[in-house]
Amino acid sequence: MSRFRKSTDVEIQSVRLHYLPVTMRMPLKFGPESVSSVTCARVAVTVVDADGKTAVGWGETPLSVTWAWPSAAMTYAQRFDAMTDFCGQLAKNWTSNPATGHALEIGHHFLDHIMPSMVESFNAGRGEHAMPHLAALIAASAFDIATHDAYGKLHDVDIYDTYNEKYLSDDLSAYLTPEQGSGISFAGKFPCDYLVADPPTSLPVWHLVGGLDPLEDSDRIGTEPDDGYPVTLRQWIVRDGLDCLKIKLRGNDASWDYDRIVRVGEMSLELGVKSLSADFNCTAETTEYVNEILDKLKSQHPAIDELIIYVEQPFPYDLEKRQIDTHSVSERKPLFLDESAHDWRFVAMGKRLGWTGVALKTCKTQTGALLSLCWAKAHGMPLMVQDLTNPMLAQIPHVRLAAHAGTIMGVESNGMQFYPDASLQDAAVHPGIYRRRDGRLDLSTIRGPGFGYRIDEVNRELPDPVTV
């Protein structure tokens, strides 16, 4: 009996892993930590079908250690080394993944049936040095994204044109369970039923206002780069025509957080910025902390309050351990899961706790993002697509997810703020997605099979693959 259920099915043949180090022009603050560089994992996955036809797909993600693995007990180097060790294990296990089918079916099998035991074994005896689930997902995402790209390339079709009954053997009921009593059914439904039928080729773009970013020239401390790119928030707004700003907050200093929102808000009103969001990066411990800031803002600065269209992940992201009732916050502003939204099951848990929306990220795997998208949309939860400061190849699946998801307002994209020169070769082929113009990204150059990278046109020499 054939291991393939459909003529369109594939299996994994081989995997190749590269590391691309990138230096930031300005530091980026995540909660209590700041980073000045990042390493991207770039993966090539070869798939093969029943007839022996092969195709190579690519995936990439920044190994954002401080975002995925906040820790006061471990150094950055210790956490980074652990994540790269896990990437090496993933390369071996992804190659030996016995699943066949569509890339989504292969990815789901790995994430649900292979990776949990990998993480458990990896963390055995590590105690407080245990790697979080989010860090494991980031490492796995490059392999998963590459598999989706390879699947589309083997069939010479855009990967988003394969999330349907023609290519998938199982409907969404094989993967998703609706909320009890909701009356929702996933029987006969496929991801295509929840995706935008005619995705836009231009998206409003969000700019990240980091905790260390100078807003005005008076905030500069003299160590900022002089490299021809903007430095202050005012310069960025004017140069890129920005309409949307995400404000990174501390979450443990209410006076600083409030003042930061007010300062950014006043500049936004002056310069015509239309939308703001507040991101506490999992550092707020109580709903009262967030509510007091929001209430004070509404009372003292109602015009700024009206600009805030959602609040992003104020509370610790381990929903199972920290089941905080967030209804009081979501009564004030739409409240979006980010770090906590590991997969659709956590989205369901969040909904029960009072969260109203979901911020999707391709760094949690393309497979997981699609399934979370479908569950959230079926249950009436609005979506955003958030950045992991994606440079180079990582930018393309990111913006394509946003175009197909139907978000409340475009997509966040800040790689051009922190390492624009890292993507110069890619920008020669896709200028509109590595430079923001008139507050938007232009996706019109993305085309072809898989994710439409046009990777053969990008003049980038990769470092040697790592031995695993």
Q: What is the mean pLDDT of residues 302-313?
A: 98
At residue 1, the pLDDT reads 42
Q: Which residues of 119-128 are buried (b: 16+ CB within 10 A; e: fewer)?
A: beebbeeeee
Asked whether the beta carbons of 466 and 19 are under 8 A apart, the reply is yes
Question: CA 270, CA 225: separation in Å to the nearest integer?
Answer: 26
Question: CA 275, CA 268: separation in Å to the nearest integer?
Answer: 8
At residue 34, the pLDDT reads 81
Q: What is the mean pLDDT of residues 189-215?
A: 97
Pairing of strands 33-49, 244-248: unpaired
At residue 27, the pLDDT reads 86
Contacts of 454 (CB under 8 A, 6+ apart): 429, 430, 445, 446, 447, 448
pLDDT of 460 over the 90 cut: yes
- In the chain, what percentage of residues exceed pLDDT 70? 99
Question: CA 314, CA 324: separation in Å to the nearest integer?
Answer: 11
Asked whether the beta carbons of 242 and 274 are under 8 A apart, the reply is no
Q: Give 60: exposed, middle or buried? Use CB within 10 Å, 0-12, 13-18, 19+.
A: buried
At residue 31, the pLDDT reads 66
Amino acid letter, 231: V
Q: What is the mean pLDDT of residues 260-280?
A: 98
At residue 143, the pLDDT reads 98
pLDDT of 121 over the 70 cut: yes
For the chain, the helix, strand and coil percentages under 3-state DSSP, each to the nearest 5: 40, 20, 40
42 — phi, psi (to 5°)? -115, 130
Question: CA 44, CA 58: separation in Å to the nearest integer?
Answer: 5
What three-state secondary structure class fits 400? Answer: helix
* Mean pLDDT of the chain, nearest integer: 96
Q: What is the mean pLDDT of residues 374-400?
A: 97
Token pair 């459909």: residue: 6
Q: Is the pTM of this model over 0.95?
A: yes
Structure-token pair, residue 412? 């966040």
Question: CA 35, CA 432: separation in Å to the nearest integer?
Answer: 27
User: Domains in the chain, please, with CATH?
Assistant: 10-156 (3.30.390.10), 191-457 (3.20.20.120)
Tens-place pLDDT, residues 400-420: 999 999 999 999 999 999 999
Q: What is the mean pLDDT of residues 266-288?
A: 96
Token pair 């006969």: residue: 188
209 — phi, psi (to 5°)? -100, 95
Tens-place pLDDT, residues 66-95: 999 999 899 999 999 999 999 999 999 999
Amino acid letter, 100: T
Question: CA 179, CA 186: separation in Å to the nearest integer?
Answer: 11
